Amino acid sequence: MTLSRKIIKKIIAHYQEKKIYWHPRLLYRSTHNIDIKKPIFMLGVQGGGLTVMSRVIRLLPHIVYISGNHRFWAGADELHNSPRFKHLPNQLLLRSPGYYNLLGHEKNHPDFGYERAFLYASSEFINEYRMTENDWTPELDQALKQTIRRCLCVYASNPNQAQFIDMSQSYSVKIPFLNRCFSDARFIIVSRNPYAVCWKQAQKSAIFNKDPQRAVQLSAEHWHNSYAYALNDTKDSGHVLTLRFEDFMQDPIAVSEKIFSFLDQSHVDVKNLIAQHKTAPLGSSEPDKWFPINHNVNQNHFKTMPDWAREIIGKQCGELVQRFGYE
């Protein structure tokens, strides 16, 4: 990519993300009167394949997310770690140095510093991030809803007919709270093989070099707890769809059709819709996360994973490994 193209890309991305503060619609549209209908929450773990699947949904004209709509469908897409929303209550956010959303009051862990990515659902941190209906307060409810309404106000041509989507993975352990806020919320839970994603993420850990076993253990706990809570919290829900990223890799059209049917969009020709978007828009975040799909992204992780790591992951994630069919 040429220097000029890089500059243009950054300008476009900055424009799309920052116009939430100054868009003229904010002058004549009242955010307080916007009705949030059937918000969609894509849930799973970081590195779990949610991005490309979420982007397919964002091609729909009525869908809005934190950085745009169907015209700019591949921008930053996680409310919980966006620096634009860093002044939201801590309970709604995932703060880490790489997200540029620290405020200076965070706990400096002796091993992990301020990093919480792929750690927040581990046994060591889960109590800080887990939320149930008992954690609901009018203030938290209002803070979350007003943020979503602002996105709908700015990015939707018709806010009251639009549908908001978000893929904040930390919300996987906050479903009861979200249900209290939005009784009609839709949840799409996407799993990815723990033997691939836990090994991949463990190697990024600050402690991997000095204690690789603990790094893998924490990653496995994080994966297990994320899905255990998500599945248990939605077991009686009629508004949940559970998918495997591996199935999407093998047949993305079929899985996308299943998603669209779940979202009452079965009339949409998914294959044709995707075909109209050969590349991600200029200014996109991680534009490579699009079609054509790499069918073998797990294989490199399987090849490099030692037996001891496989044993730790299998022991920690055992029953869910079987439930998702990863044996």
Cα–Cα distance measured from residue 152 to residue 182, given in angstroms and rounded to the nearest whole number: 16
pLDDT confidence of residue 8: 87
pLDDT confidence of residue 4: 84
Name which of 274, 266, 243, 226 is nearest 44 in CA terms: 226
Cα–Cα distance measured from residue 199 to residue 100, given in angstroms and rounded to the nearest whole number: 26
pLDDT confidence of residue 5: 84
How long, in residues, is the chain? 327
Name which of 288, 312, 320, 321 is nearest 199 in CA terms: 312
pTM of the model: 0.96
pLDDT in tens for each of the 327 residues of the chain?
Answer: 788 888 888 898 888 888 888 888 888 888 989 999 999 999 999 999 999 999 999 999 999 999 999 999 999 999 999 999 999 999 999 999 999 999 999 999 999 999 999 999 999 999 999 999 999 999 999 999 999 999 999 999 999 999 999 999 999 999 999 999 999 999 999 999 999 999 999 999 999 999 999 999 999 999 999 999 999 999 999 999 999 999 999 999 999 999 999 999 999 999 999 999 999 999 999 999 999 999 889 999 999 999 999 999 999 999 999 999 998
Cα–Cα distance measured from residue 124 to residue 105, given in angstroms and rounded to the nearest whole number: 19
Structure tokens at 106: 């965070």
166 has which bridge partners? Answer: 41
pLDDT confidence of residue 2: 84
Strands (E), the chain: 40-43, 63-64, 163-166, 186-191, 240-244
Domains of the chain: 3-324 (3.40.50.300)
3-state secondary structure of 42: strand
pLDDT confidence of residue 61: 98
What is the Cα 162 distance to its own chain's centre? 19
Q: How many CA atoms lie within 13 A of 136 on its CB side?
A: 15
Contact indicator for 17, 75 with CB cutoff of 8 Å: yes
280 exposure class (CB count in 10 Å sphere: 0-12, 13-18, 19+): buried
Lateral strand order in the sheet of 163-166: 63-64, 163-166, 40-43, 186-191, 240-244
- Residue 123's alpha-carbon distances to 77, 168, 240, in angstroms, are 27, 20, 25
